[in-house]
Amino acid sequence: MSNDFAQFQDAFFDEVAEHLAVVEEGLLALEQQPDDRDLLNKIFRSAHSIKGGAGMFGFTAVAQFTHKMETLLDLLRNGQKVVTPVVADLLLKSTDCLKTLIDATKSGASVDDEAVQRLTAELAAESDLKAQAKVERGPSESSSTPSLTSTSTTTFVIDWTPPEWLFRRGLDPLQIMRELRVLGTLGEIVMDQSRLPELTAIDPETCYLSWRMQLTTAKDLKAIEKVFEFVREDSKLSIEEVRGKESGVKSDGASDSTQPLTPHADEGERPKPLGTILVESGVVSPAVLDHALAQQKKVGEILVEQKAVTPQQLEQALQKQKQESSAQAKKTDTASIRVDTGKIDKLINLVGELVITQSMLSDLGSRFEMRQLPVLLERVAQLERNTREIQERVMGIRMLPIGTAFSRFPRLVRDLSAKAGKKIQLVLAGEETELDKTVIESIGDPLTHLVRNSADHGLEPPEERLDNNKPEVGTIRLNAFHEGGNICITVEDDGRGLHRDKILAKAVKQGLIGENDKLADDQIWPLIFKPGFSTAEKITDVSGRGVGMDVVKRNIESLGGTVSIKTATGKGTTFTLKLPLTLAIIEGMTVRVGKETYIVPLLSILESIQPKEGWVKTVVGKGELMNVRGTYLPLIRLYDVFGLEPEYRTPTDAILLILETEGERVAVMVDEILGQQQVVIKSMEQNFRKVEGIAGATILGDGTVGFILDVRGVLEIARRGVPVAA
Amino acid sequence: MSGAANETAVKEPNQETGLTTEGSQFLTFNLGEELYGVDILRVQEIKGYTTVTKIPNTPSHIKGVLNLRGTIVPIVELRTKFGMPTIDYTTFTVIIVVVVRDKVMGLVVDAVSDVLDIAQKDIQAPPQFGANVDVRFLNGIGKSGDKLVALLDMDSLLSEGDLSGANSAVAA
């Protein structure tokens, strides 16, 4: 039971994440086009879905908060309020708060109640201005948009235990509720089924149920009583007025304020809190319970008072609890993946084909004769095709477009530009570049750091930009693309560029370099990746504390990638993250050198040619150069680099691959080109270590391992003339 | 983690019983005339020798890599690692797949012999000389009947630059 429930909860959290993204995106767009009604409706729908889901799972805090947002959104939607920057900002802040609430609910961590309360109050205040204007509302709409803050309405809690003969007289409790709904907003309805007997003992015509309903209406008590007119006889009915925001149906709400939120996975089986039962059974009133709960102390506080633990010990224990819950949260994060149904349908079709091929094969095998050999071969080929395609598709399931990692930046840049008083325009490109899910998850933080860095350090304030004949609005450009079997992500700004002298001065001050060291530009820029390095003159809350850039470098390196910097004073800075496609599939050319097979990433191959007599020139100190149609390219003999025994040593017998890496071109000499195929990259580091010149390994058609060439590495080995410590 | 626990089991005799514990079961194998043992809990599987793919620019005892059901597993030739002369592979040549610090590796040995229970009291500290193998790689010498088994310390055997740091590779 609890497992099923947890499963639905996971789905809910996934959905909520999507809805939140829609809300946030929508709000950002809304700022630009405040009159877009469609946009508002979209935001409203998403918010409403979050509220509905949260309510269903009993995440009261989330539901209540979303409800407040929804109230404000509804006013905007009805045109009773206009979208102002203040409102948009408040809604964005609320979205953040909602995110925190949901994360907390998910991981069971505690929430900063104060912030939630403050925002709730702000939302209520915004919504309140015109709330009076909307007293009456149609039933269809009011069911989804109750307004608790409206001043002229009253909230009643109705306890109704219908008579047992209810059904026998052809009356329907649902009808009653429908009528109540016409009066106003029917909030939470709690059904009490405690009187329900065993299934065998049930009389289908007897009503065993009772309800507690919360009704917000502009009508008075009499109108409500009238609804119950026909069932009044023998019914137990109590209608109480509730004042202010105090919600009559306390259910879990009372416990939330005093107990830290616990993981909800087991909520399905968790008994109701004692207080709830007492209130529900009418033993105590909600107010009495609240008072009692307010006096209740946390276990830690009691233990400290009794001197059983020291405050320090308590603090440590709480820290540990926090860590554990966040560790738990991380675990759940990687647990599931949302896949496009189209991908799954294709996979199912393929599996169907595989089953057919398999049955054809076993049929053939059961009565095989030699003359059927061609048929057998054909079927095996078909099996091969199927398998390959399935493999690709399955790998593809893990691949997500990088756009999911980019989507957070429009918001980030908006906030940053507001804070720093700069005008920033964000341009995204290459969002469709597919990347393994795990990689996408891990590059979010480094990218955030880089974008922040660009906004804060890179781009100048508008006046300064105008003084320098630049457009007032600065541009940050995020781009993702494949290059030579890697994925490159660039963060580019058209700001002031890195300040050579400032970095040098700082580095000397920090003792990173000596005062008289002469450094080339390429040696200076990486200094900013040193821990504790920041040249920002004033420390803002965005950057300047010197954490960040070293974290970027460390994170990217832990993924097996690199970070490089290009900068020009006054023109801007470009950070390039280069990531390996750890789990990705690449298109490769299989080549042979001696007995070994290597795979060259197709993306780095410009062309392959057979050299002619006289193309090779030897230059003293530079090695061999190859004259390819007038361009001289360094010649790399792969067998030299890898210490192999080749078939051909004269270039004219061999094949040349013209490869490009980071803008450099080289001619690599191999014995033969075998073919082109897609290969799945397997990690060498998992059980071994990184090998220079090799980007990874893959399983070839015959089941043996083939290596994927790292063109850059090969070039570097060739430059040094000797492989590292062979 | 379990590896560390097993090691303690080998190094500190079980005081209560003095008898065999799980940690003192060893898979033994031949290299030339000598008998070696590895802690059985480190062994994942034993498979026949198949061709491996040579890794360029690695020490000669790294024979290459193998596709073990989709995982790339490096193969170490123990003879070369121990500085023994290489021999032609026979039908008895096998690869013992071991797990060392969460990494899976294969060891090429002449032949597997037996699984032996060696009591703690029968395990002595490695001698300072005499063995064909550098004593750094030994945990001790075990006695089983009339056989002497050199018990390998997998952690030190397979750590030296084989697994990490491209620059620290040393030719054995």
The count of structural domains within chain B is 1
Using a CB–CB cutoff of 8 Å, tell me whether B8 touches chain A. no
Nearest residue on chain A to B100, alpha-carbon basis: A687
What pLDDT score was predicted for residue A148? 41
Nearest residue on chain A to B165, alpha-carbon basis: A689
Residue of A598, A691, A700, A714 to mutate when probing chain B, most B C-beta within 10 A: A691
Residue of A640, A642, A689, A702 to mutate when probing chain B, most B C-beta within 10 A: A689
Higher-confidence residue of A667 and A678: namely: A667
> Measured between alpha carbons, how far is A322 from A319 in angstroms, rounded to an integer?
5
Percentage of chain B exceeding pLDDT 90: 20
> pLDDT tens digits, residue range A129-160?
544 444 334 343 333 344 444 446 777 888 88
Residue A484: which pLDDT band, with cuts at 50, 70 and 90? low
Its CATH architecture, for the domain A154-295, is 2-Layer Sandwich (3.30)
pLDDT of residue A673 exceeding 90:
yes
Whether B65 and A692 lie within 8 Å, measured CB to CB? no
Higher-confidence residue of A175 and A299: namely: A175
Whether B103 and A686 lie within 8 Å, measured CB to CB? yes
What pLDDT score was predicted for residue A297? 64
Residue B91 is part of which domain span? 2-159
> Measured between alpha carbons, how far is A197 from A182 in angstroms, rounded to an integer?
33
> pLDDT tens digits, residue range B46-93?
999 888 898 988 888 889 999 888 788 999 998 888 888 888 888 899
For A181, how many CA atoms within 13 A lie in the half-sphere containing its CB? 17
**Secondary structure element (H or E) that encloses residue A442, with its range:** helix A437-453
The structure tokens listed for A674 are 């075998």
What pLDDT score was predicted for residue A162? 82
Mean pLDDT confidence for A578-592: 75
Nearest residue on chain A to B54, alpha-carbon basis: A596
Q: How far is A643 from chain B (nearest CA, A)?
A: 7
Q: Which is the CATH superfamily of the domain at A585-720? A: SH3 Domains (2.30.30.40)
DSSP E strands: which ranges in A524-682?
Answer: 562-568, 572-580, 585-593, 596-601, 605-609, 616-619, 623-628, 631-637, 655-661, 664-670, 672-680
What pLDDT score was predicted for residue A137? 40
Which alpha helices (DSSP H) does A58-84 contain, by range? Answer: 60-77
What pLDDT score was predicted for residue A592? 93
Q: Output the domain CATH number for residue B97.
A: 2.40.50.180
Nearest residue on chain A to B172, alpha-carbon basis: A726
Q: How far is A682 from chain B (nearest CA, A)?
A: 7
> pLDDT tens digits, residue range A60-113?
888 888 888 888 888 888 777 778 878 888 888 888 888 888 888 877 777 777
What pLDDT score was predicted for residue B106? 92
Report whether A485 contacts A586 (CB < 8 A): yes
Using a CB–CB cutoff of 8 Å, tell me whether B58 touches chain A. yes
Using a CB–CB cutoff of 8 Å, tell me whether B164 touches chain A. yes
What pLDDT score was predicted for residue B121? 82
CB-CB neighbors (< 8 A) of A717 in chain B: 57
What pLDDT score was predicted for residue A330? 44
Every domain of chain A and the residues it spans: 2-131, 154-295, 299-333, 341-399, 403-580, 585-720
Nearest CB to B65 within list A641, A697, A717: A697
CB-CB neighbors (< 8 A) of A645 in chain B: none
Mean pLDDT confidence for A500-520: 78
What pLDDT score was predicted for residue A430? 87
Using a CB–CB cutoff of 8 Å, tell me whether B125 touches chain A. no
Whether B53 and A707 lie within 8 Å, measured CB to CB? yes
pLDDT of residue A127 exceeding 70:
yes
What pLDDT score was predicted for residue B43? 92
Domain A2-131: assigned CATH number: 1.20.120.160
What pLDDT score was predicted for residue A141? 39
Higher-confidence residue of A166 and B6: namely: A166
Whether B53 and A682 lie within 8 Å, measured CB to CB? no
What pLDDT score was predicted for residue A20? 86
Report whether A706 contacts A589 (CB < 8 A): no
β-strand pairing of A596-601 with A705-709: parallel
| Alpha carbon distances (Å) from A660 to A421, A589, A602 | 42, 14, 10
Evaluate whether residue B171 is within a structural domain: no
Higher-confidence residue of A316 and A400: namely: A400
Task: Spell out which chain A residues touch chain B, with contact meaning CB-CB distance below 8 angstroms.
Answer: 596, 641-644, 682-684, 686-694, 697, 699, 703-707, 717, 723-726
> Measured between alpha carbons, how far is A486 from A710 in angstroms, rounded to an integer?
10
Whether A686 and B57 lie within 8 Å, measured CB to CB? no
Q: Which residue matches tokens 């996408």? A: A440
Burial call A601-612: b when 16+ CB within 10 Å, e when fewer:
bebbbeebeebe
Evaluate whether residue B169 is within a structural domain: no
Higher-confidence residue of A193 and A714: namely: A714
Q: Which is the CATH superfamily of the domain at A403-580? A: Histidine kinase-like ATPase, C-terminal domain (3.30.565.10)
Mean pLDDT confidence for A36-42: 82
CB-CB neighbors (< 8 A) of B61 in chain A: none
Residue A283: which pLDDT band, with cuts at 50, 70 and 90? low
Residue of B47, B52, B57 to mutate when probing chain A, most A C-beta within 10 A: B57
pLDDT of residue B9 exceeding 80:
no
What pLDDT score was predicted for residue A720? 80
Long-range contacts of A282-287 (CB under 8 A, 24+ apart): A286/A246, A286/A248, A286/A250, A286/A254
Q: What is the mean pLDDT of chain A?
A: 77
What pLDDT score was predicted for residue A590? 93
> pLDDT tens digits, residue range A531-551?
767 655 544 444 444 456 777
CB-CB neighbors (< 8 A) of B57 in chain A: 642-643, 691-693, 717, 723-724, 726
Using a CB–CB cutoff of 8 Å, tell me whether B3 touches chain A. no
Evaluate whether residue B172 is within a structural domain: no
Report whether B20 contacts B117 (CB < 8 A): yes
Cα angle, residue A613 at apex, residues A608 and A619 outer, rounded to 5° = 90
Whether A691 and B56 lie within 8 Å, measured CB to CB? yes
User: What sign does the CA torsion over A299, A301, A302, A304 have?
Assistant: positive
What pLDDT score was predicted for residue A547? 54
CB contacts < 8 A, A to B, total: 87
| Alpha carbon distances (Å) from B92 to A117, A394, B81 | 74, 38, 19
